[in-house]
Amino acid sequence: MLNLPKKVYFKNGSASVALRELSEVYHLKRALLVSNPRLYRNGTVSSIGGQLRKQGIRTAEFFSISAVPSFADLRSGLPKLSEFQPDVIVGIGGGGAMSAAKALWLLYENPDLDLAAAAEAPARIHTGVKAKQVLVATSFGSGAQNSPFCVLKNDSGETCVIKSFELLPEISVTDARFAESLSPAQIKACGLATLSQSIRGFAGDSCCEYTQGLLREAVSAVLSNLKAAEGGCPVALEKLHNAAALAGAAYGNVMDTVDFTAPFYPFTTEKAMHRERIDMLAQDLNLSGVQTLWEACEALF
């Protein structure tokens, strides 16, 4: 079984089409917009909020989150959740903002939930009774709009990863127009994160024909387009944005957890691991072997 969001939008300009569904198809009335301070300041959140309000949907915003949202960040958002009672939670941003939106959704649907316990026993959680979730990706390092992972910091400052297919949104949006404000350095970091996680996912024992195809396309897109995207090519940028979405769609089906703090691939200890599967990937990419793939990866640094 391949677990994906119910609806996946992936094209420049697709965000406006996807957001129209909230009123025209789902008849929703109150949207909580979850993002980060930068996207709030640069107008991305207000642009999306403006479209929703034109559709007759009331909006509220929560953007007091760290790069990796903490349990404390989330607790500060609970009063607004309780007061506003949204029927849709819209996560806008990169992996951090989307993780915050997923976690707030969990806490809204499961008021007595302990997030640390949920990471250990995710089978106990449920979503979709009080509200829908929509995730709009504005960068492309994590593919979180299509993945079942929620990456947080617990009260001890340690990374806490919740994995549950209950965290897949009703609608995911991959619209590369939101990534146009990324700097070359941010584009490079996002691309290398996508490349690294995709290769690790392909090497995993749980990777099947379906997820191999998604991850192979993601790796190929990064290798072919990262340098051009850093140089300002909008077509290459869109391909990278889509590559992360493809990878995110595969991650939850092949990985038990994610670690975006791991060094970019390949680092020394990985060169001796999963060599047969990485050689298969290299051949699928029309490369002569593992060494050639490693050299292609390292050339992007």
3-state SS of 73-140 is HHHHHHHHHHHHCCCEEEEEECHHHHHHHHHHHHHHHCCCCCHHHHHHCHHHCCCCCCCEEEEEECCC
Distance set, CA 41 to CA 34, 36, 178, 190 (Å)? 13, 9, 14, 21
Which stretches of the chain score pLDDT less than 50? none
Looking at residue 262, its pLDDT comes to 82
CB atoms within 10 A of CB 88: 24
Query: What stretch of H or E contains 181?
Result: none
* CA atoms in the 13 A half-sphere facing the CB of 37: 7
Looking at residue 275, its pLDDT comes to 84
Cis peptide before 266 (omega within 30 of 0): yes
CATH class, range 184-298: mainly alpha
Per CATH, the architecture of 7-179 is what?
A: 3-Layer(aba) Sandwich (3.40)
Looking at residue 270, its pLDDT comes to 73
Looking at residue 195, its pLDDT comes to 95
What is this structure's pTM?
0.95
Looking at residue 172, its pLDDT comes to 98
Looking at residue 259, its pLDDT comes to 86
Residue 174 bridge partners (DSSP) = 10, 137
**Cα 271 to Cα 278: distance, rounded to the nearest angstrom:** 10
Looking at residue 1, its pLDDT comes to 79
- DSSP letter at 70 equals B
CB atoms within 10 A of CB 37: 12
Report strand pairing: 7-10 vs 171-174.
parallel
**Cα 172 to Cα 170: distance, rounded to the nearest angstrom:** 7
The domains of the chain are located at 7-179, 184-298
> Sign of torsion, CA 12 16 20 21?
positive
